[in-house]
Structure 1
Amino acid sequence: MLFGLAPLDLASPTGDHGGSHQEQADELTARIEAAAAIDLTMVMILTTETNNLRLMDRRLGGAAIADKMRAQIAQLEGVHRHAIRPGIRAQLAHVLSETAALAGWQALDTCALSDAWDHHEHAISAAREAENPALLAYACGQQAYVLIDLGRPAEATELLQHVRTTYDRRVPGHLRTWLAAAEAEAAAILGDEATCRTALDQAAALLPGDDADPHVPYVSLNTHHLARWRGNCLVRFGDPDTIEDLRSALAGMDGTYNRAEAGLRCDLAHALLAMGELDAAQPHLYRADQLATTIGSRRHGRRIKELMRAATRGSR
């Protein structure tokens, strides 16, 4: 006050904002009350909606369900942020982590790498609040693919090895298999054949007999999927068994994993081109292109163009 800096309204140092303060209080109260309406039944409904989005993503791709994904994440974020009961809040964090990880994978498929990274950071944070090591390991493992697409396979391999060391004994068998296969893929891209083959052998040994585990619905992995993954890795080293692995995997595809089939046909075309079998490779490239276009996969689209250019050069 001695320096002439005292507020004009001594009774209200911040000025008269009572109206806006009350609006904020009313809005926050309404959000907390809306979140309080979420019970176990509602959590199950939200979980089912995320599972349905996952199934739609496999067939249609992320672009076709982008609006639905944004709405689901916005709804989950809203109720999670304002949930008070610890048990419900933790379960909402669980669903939010699964949904954010799915959004991250979709962003990766469209080559939106910054968005993919942010979605996975969101998934990791939610998994920590849910205190679920499987969700945390999965989100970190998927984030490694962002590093791969950034051209940083060494860091991706290091991250996956850290995740396996930290969480391997604390997560279900299907996820342990998934993490081992992901490490193999990162090592293959890095050009480390020894690490790749070791991780593939570990993945095969870890794979449970059942096709699915209800505790990890975000991991879909069986012998056919693992054969596809093995072929994807070993095609980079010119392994002659790759073609048979990939054909076996293709025979076992059930037609609902369009993104996976597009990738598989790219790998098979790659292997056939490496063997000089241009005519055999063409139908796989054509079908892969159809699938990539259907699901809006820019990631696969870029690879298909590279393989088509290689096929053109090989035919000259």
Structure 2
Amino acid sequence: MDAAAASEFAALNSHLWRMYAMAPTKSQVLPLVRAQLDALTAGLRHPQNSAIHQRLCALSSELFQLTGEIFLDADRYTDAAHCYTLAATAGQEANSPDLWACALIRHAFIVLYERRFAEAAPLLELAGAVAERGDPTLSTRHWVAAVRAGACAGLGDLNACERALDAAAEVHQLRGPVHNGGWLRFDGSRLAEERGSCYVTLGRYDRAEEALGDALAGSPTARRKAGVLTDLAVIGVHRRDHDQVIAYANAAVATARRTGSGVVNHKLRGLQSYLDPLLVDQRIQRLDADISDIVGTHAA
């Protein structure tokens, strides 16, 4: 394989990431991604010069991360974790610290989704150390900090969470293209929703509501907006505001039905765990049943 062929693979990789971002149902992109991965791995099975070998490893790391994202959105966490492990190995082989670190960050997301917050720390510590060896103009290390904030919130450590959020916000001081729109997309635009989610987890609801309002004003994507609405519904539960819960949660449920997104389903499962005190309200009972129908769970 020559440099021109590798460049064609790189162009198609970028196209696949754009398709993934635009697809309402992420699994629709999987057959194309698998076909591209098959072609790349076939290239790696043949002898290549060092430069082409590293390029193919880098391109494979990109696509293993994309495959993992698709599996994560389908609630296939084991498959996603396997892809992220392969992506990290390929990124390391490619001598690309930023690719390697991003694969580790994505792997840490799975641990956080399963609420094993303490277990995420070693992954994020390694991701941070690897990112420090990467391109200082990119936002990789700031993304590590943003994800670390979520882990700290899960552990109930407000001070560490806020320090991590402040470190992530330093991305706004970078100049030029800080991400590539594909395997690295962190540019700080999601910090309001991430800050709000952290404050919900920590039980700081007034501060959470302010941040989540800022997030909605930023016109997030459908999946991200559903996550924000679900967090606002959780705040409504704690305030015993049935109308707030219904309004925000039903909008998130509609997005879950339309997209089939496992990421949205995950947020709804989290909301459902809080609904028990409000189940005397028939509207909340219907909401609980709707969530169970979508995510395949049953109210406790």
Q: Partner letter of residue 201 of structure 1?
A: D
**Do the aligned partners of residues 51 and 295 (structure 1) sit closer, same or farther apart at CA in structure 2, a change above 3 Å counting?**
farther
Q: Partner letter of residue 50 of structure 1?
A: N
Distance in 1 (alpha carbons) for counterparts of 2:53 and 2:154: 39
Deviations 1:97-118 (A, max 9, x none): 0110121122122221221111
Deviations 1:35-77 (A, max 9, x none): x3xx333323322322222223233232222212221221221
2:109 maps to 1:142: no
The question of whether the paired residues in 1 share the 8 Å contact of 2:192 and 2:211 is answered with: yes
Deviations 1:110-148 (A, max 9, x none): 221221111011101110111000001111111112222
The one of 207, 220, 223 aligned to 1:259: 223
Give the match's secondary structure for 1:82: coil
Distance in 2 (alpha carbons) for counterparts of 1:260 and 1:212: 22
2:20 maps to 1:57: yes
Q: Partner letter of residue 128 of structure 1?
A: Q
1:177 Cα offset (Å): 1.2
2:193 maps to 1:228: yes
- Mapping of 1:118-197 within 5 angstroms? 118-168=82-132, 170-172=134-136, 173-197=138-162
Distance in 2 (alpha carbons) for counterparts of 1:291 and 1:284: 11
Q: Partner letter of residue 234 of structure 1?
A: Y
The one of 234, 237, 240 aligned to 1:270: 234
Over aligned residues, Cα RMSD in angstroms?
2.5
The question of whether the paired residues in 2 share the 8 Å contact of 1:180 and 1:202 is answered with: yes
Q: Which residue of 2 aligns with 1:291?
A: 255
Distance in 2 (alpha carbons) for counterparts of 1:252 and 1:56: 22
Distance in 1 (alpha carbons) for counterparts of 2:255 and 2:4: 37
The one of 240, 246, 250 aligned to 2:212: 246
My pick for the range that moved more, 211-220 or 270-279, is 211-220
Distance in 2 (alpha carbons) for counterparts of 1:222 and 1:315: 40
Q: Which residue of 1 aligns with 2:268?
A: 304
The question of whether the paired residues in 1 share the 8 Å contact of 2:139 and 2:178 is answered with: yes
Distance in 2 (alpha carbons) for counterparts of 1:43 and 1:273: 52
Q: Partner letter of residue 179 of structure 1?
A: V
TM-score normalised by the chain length of structure 2:
0.82
**Do the aligned partners of residues 185 and 211 (structure 1) sit closer, same or farther apart at CA in structure 2, a change above 3 Å counting?**
farther
Give the match's secondary structure for 2:189: helix
1:225 Cα offset (Å): 0.8
**Do the aligned partners of residues 309 and 148 (structure 1) sit closer, same or farther apart at CA in structure 2, a change above 3 Å counting?**
closer
The question of whether the paired residues in 1 share the 8 Å contact of 2:153 and 2:198 is answered with: yes
Q: Partner letter of residue 20 of structure 2?
A: D
**Do the aligned partners of residues 275 and 50 (structure 1) sit closer, same or farther apart at CA in structure 2, a change above 3 Å counting?**
farther
The question of whether the paired residues in 2 share the 8 Å contact of 1:174 and 1:213 is answered with: yes
1:220 Cα offset (Å): 2.4
2:70 maps to 1:106: yes
- Mapping of 1:197-236 within 5 angstroms? 197-208=162-173, 212-215=177-180, 217-236=182-201
Q: Partner letter of residue 192 of structure 1?
A: D
Distance in 1 (alpha carbons) for counterparts of 2:17 and 2:258: 16
Q: Unpaired segments of 5 or more residues in structure 2?
A: 281-300
Q: Which residue of 2 aligns with 1:4?
A: none
**Do the aligned partners of residues 225 and 126 (structure 1) sit closer, same or farther apart at CA in structure 2, a change above 3 Å counting?**
same
What percent of counterpart residues are identical? 28
TM-score normalised by the chain length of structure 1:
0.78
1:219 Cα offset (Å): 2.6
The question of whether the paired residues in 2 share the 8 Å contact of 1:246 and 1:268 is answered with: yes
2:5 maps to 1:42: yes
Distance in 1 (alpha carbons) for counterparts of 2:267 and 2:180: 33
Distance in 1 (alpha carbons) for counterparts of 2:189 and 2:254: 22
Q: Which residue of 1 aligns with 2:35?
A: 71
Distance in 1 (alpha carbons) for counterparts of 2:105 and 2:147: 7
The question of whether the paired residues in 2 share the 8 Å contact of 1:147 and 1:153 is answered with: yes
Question: Which structure carries more relative contact order (alpha carbon 8 Å, separation 6+)?
Answer: 1
